[in-house]
Structure formats: C-alpha cells, structure tokens
Amino acid sequence: MLARPIRPSQKQTSFDQPAQWTPAVLAEMSDRFEDQSAVQILQWAVKHFDGEIALASSFGPQSIVLAHMLSQMDGDVTIFYIDTGLLFQETYDLRDKLEAQLGITYQRVATDISLGEQTQRFGPELWKNDSNACCYVRKVLPLRQTLSQHKAWITGVRREQSATRTHAGLVEWDHTNQLVKFNPLANWTKEQVWQYIADNDLPYNELHDKGYPSIGCWPCTRSVQAGEDERSGRWAGKAKTECGLHVRDNVQFGQIREAAAN
C-alpha cells in the first residue's frame, strides 16, 4: 500500500482508458507512451488499475527505480518479490534497506514446496539437472498465482537487456499470464537507470560492486569479467538466458506443473 502525494512536478498524462484492453489497443497506447516519462506511465497505470496492480521486484537496479517512483505516488500497488529460498544474503539485506528508506513493504511470494521437498520429488540440486524445471517450480508458478489476483503488473524489463526483450512495449498484453503488463523503463538505458539511483541516493545490491551485474539465485549466478555480457553470469554454461517470467514457452512444463500441484 502506497500513500504519499504525487509531487506537483509529476504531471499526469491525460490518455483516456480504452473500452477494452486488447493487444492492439495496448500496442497503440505503447506508441503514445513513447514520449511520456516513466513516472507519467506509472501514474497512468496506478490511476487506472488502483488496487489491482502489482510491481514484481527482482531487487535489480530497475526494480529499485520503480519502487522509488511508486513510493512517491498515491495509490494501492502491491510490491512483491519471489523468494526462491536461494537468494543471496545481500539481496535480503537490500530488501530491508529499501523498506526502511522508501517506507514500503515488500510482499514475499514463494512456492509451498520447500527445498527439501523439491529434492524428494525431483532429485537433488534441481538447478543443476534441470534449471528450467527449477525456475518453473520456484519462480514461474508462484508468479502466476500472484498475478492471477491482479489485472495489471509492472516490470523492470528494458529493451536493450537481451534479444528476447528488444520488442518490449511500454505497455502490452501479457499473453501468458492474461493481464496488462507495464514496462515503464523499456526505453531506458542502463546508464539512465544507474544515474537515477545515484541522483536519488538509493541503496543497491552490494554484489554489483563485486562483479555481479545481474543477480538471481546464488546457485545460478557468478561474477563476470570485464568485457563479458552483463547477463553471462546467469546460468553460465547453459543455453538458458531467462527464468521464464517474461517468455511464453512453458508448454513443456506440463508434467512439472502437475507434480508441483500434487
């Protein structure tokens, strides 16, 4: 729950709400949002989905920027993170710092399947043997369950992050989760994100200063060398580049889904 006034300088956009949230309507809206600021897009999103919208936080730099912007707006927005039980201690420390500094509360979302139970059902260290299945159980299913309680969500996806994100709209229809998805930072550069964090004196994950540009679960994240792609430290040595939260290819997980549900 957020309950702070919008600053006078943060003028709201006047786009009307469409009669229906179809993919075509959202694509057109995304084009119109291109000359709006991220704050204006967020204000529009919160105004039209008040009480029915959520920010998914990874505690990455983009999530920090968005949480800070939302913390200064009126409106009822759920801010949640997916706790796989395998996050770095530095990530939990950052959560605590952000809650204290921004005056917000992060909702913890997690699977009911403990790590011990996962080992019993699927074998030890599932992240080594089948990282797609591990992500599906520990991230994708809890996310789906949370999103099913909302009509829209906000992510920190940026177009320049990876080939799979190049065409991300500022707002779009999320076919997988069947709700509206806002990516207010889609057209931001990495430099803009870090400048915002510096300008607003925001805390960030200490691991970023130790060679970890992209941080997920500790078994699947390593530091990277100068010149390496910033996401090369995620699932290193595997073809996998996404945890599955933002892609549409989960058909192959039918058996895992059934097993996790039983």
Binding site for ligand SF4 (CB under 6 A): 84, 86, 127, 131, 134-135, 138-139, 216-217, 219-220, 243
User: Would you say 84 and 139 are in contact if contact means Cβ atoms under 8 Å apart?
Assistant: yes
Nearest approach, Cβ of 137 to ligand SF4 (angstroms)? 7
Q: Which is nearer to ligand SF4, 113 or 168 (CB)?
A: 113
79 pairs with which residues across the strands? 55
Query: Toward ligand SF4, which CB reaches closer, 45 or 137?
Result: 137
Residue nearest to ligand SF4 (CB): 217
Closer residue to ligand SF4 (CB): 106 or 173? 106
CB atoms within 10 A of CB 249: 10
Tell whether the torsion through CA atoms of 257, 136, 242 and 57 is positive or negative: positive
User: What is the closest distance, in whole angstroms, from the C-beta atom of residue 256 to ligand SF4 in the complex?
Assistant: 12
Instruction: Give the Cα separation of 171 and 46 in Å (integer).
Output: 13
Rank residues 7 and 238 by Cβ distance to ligand SF4 and give the closer one. 238
For residue 128, the minimal CB distance to ligand SF4 (Å) is 9
Give the CA dihedral 133, 148, 245, 168, nearest 10 degrees.
150
In whole angstroms, the minimum distance from the beta carbon of 58 to ligand SF4 comes to 11
Nearer to ligand SF4, 45 or 135 (CB): 135
Rg (CA), the chain: 18
Cα separation, 216 vs 239, whole angstroms: 16
- Give the Cα separation of 154 and 210 in Å (integer): 28
CB of 126 to ligand SF4, least distance (A): 7
* Annotated catalytic residue 243: yes
Residues carrying an active site annotation: 243
